[in-house]
Structure 1
Amino acid sequence: MTREQPKQAPPPVQRLRVRYAKRGRLRFTSHRDFSRAFERAVFRARLPMAYSSGFNPHPRISYAGAAPTGSASEAEYLELALAEVVDPAAALAALDEAMPDGLDVVEVVESAGGSLADLLQASQWNIALPTPMEEVTPAVRAFLRADEVAVQRMTKKGLRDFDARAAVLSLLVMPGGDGTGPGSELELVLRHQEPAVRPDDVLTGLASVGGLELVGVPLLTREAQGPLDEVTGEIGDPLRTR
Structure 2
Amino acid sequence: MPTQPPQQAPPVQRLRIRYAKRGRLRFTSHRDFSRAFERAVVRAGVPMAYSSGFNPHPRISYAGAAPTGAASEAEYLEIGLARTVAPATVLAELAAAMPPGLDVLDVVESPGGALADLLQASRWQVELTLPPEPVATAVATFLAQESVPVSRMTRKGLREFDCRAAVLSLTVHPHGAGTRLVLVLRHTDPMVRPDDVLTGLERLAGLAPPAPPLLTRLAQGRWDAGREQVTDPLA
Task: Indicate the TM-score class for this superposition, using the shorter chain for normalisation.
Answer: over 0.9
Aligned to 2:191: 196
Structure showing the higher strand proportion among its residues: 2
With the length of structure 2 as denominator, give the TM-score of the two structures: 0.98
CA root-mean-square deviation: 0.8
Aligned to 1:234: 229
**CA deviation profile, 1:183-208 (whole Å, cap 9, x unmatched):** 00000000001111000000000001
Which stretch of structure 1 is more off in the superposition, 165-174 or 202-211? 202-211
Amino acid at match of 2:232: D
Q: Percent identity?
A: 67
Q: CA deviation at 1:213?
A: 2.1
**CA deviation profile, 1:130-163 (whole Å, cap 9, x unmatched):** 0000110010001000001011111122211110
Amino acid at match of 1:24: G
Segments of structure 1 that go 5 or more residues without pairing to the other structure are none
For the pair 1:182 / 2:177, whether they are aligned, the reply is yes
Runs of 4+ in structure 1 over 4 Å off? none
Aligned to 1:221: 216
For the pair 1:35 / 2:34, whether they are aligned, the reply is yes
With the length of structure 1 as denominator, give the TM-score of the two structures: 0.95
Aligned to 1:136: 135
* Pairs within 5 Å for 1:2-41: 2-41=1-40
In structure 2, distance between residues paired with 1:169 and 1:233 = 9
In structure 2, distance between residues paired with 1:158 and 1:112 = 37
Segments of structure 2 that go 5 or more residues without pairing to the other structure are none
- Is residue 207–residue 214 contact of structure 1 (8 Å, CA) maintained in 2? no
In structure 2, distance between residues paired with 1:213 and 1:82 = 48
* Pairs within 5 Å for 1:90-109: 90-109=89-108
For the residue of structure 2 that corresponds to 1:173, the secondary structure is strand
Aligned to 1:79: 78
In structure 2, distance between residues paired with 1:220 and 1:132 = 17
* Pairs within 5 Å for 1:153-168: 153-168=152-167
Q: CA deviation at 1:3?
A: 2.6
In structure 1, distance between residues paired with 2:226 and 2:89 = 37
Aligned to 1:169: 168
Aligned to 1:211: 206
For the residue of structure 2 that corresponds to 1:106, the secondary structure is strand
In structure 2, distance between residues paired with 1:68 and 1:231 = 29
Amino acid at match of 1:229: D
In structure 1, distance between residues paired with 2:55 and 2:80 = 17
Name the count of aligned residue pairs: 235
- Is residue 122–residue 191 contact of structure 1 (8 Å, CA) maintained in 2? yes
Q: CA deviation at 1:232?
A: 2.8
For the residue of structure 1 that corresponds to 2:24, the secondary structure is helix
In structure 1, distance between residues paired with 2:201 and 2:226 = 26
For the residue of structure 2 that corresponds to 1:54, the secondary structure is coil
Amino acid at match of 1:14: Q
For the residue of structure 1 that corresponds to 2:201, the secondary structure is helix
**CA deviation profile, 1:107-140 (whole Å, cap 9, x unmatched):** 0011111111100000000000000001100100
Q: CA deviation at 1:34?
A: 0.3
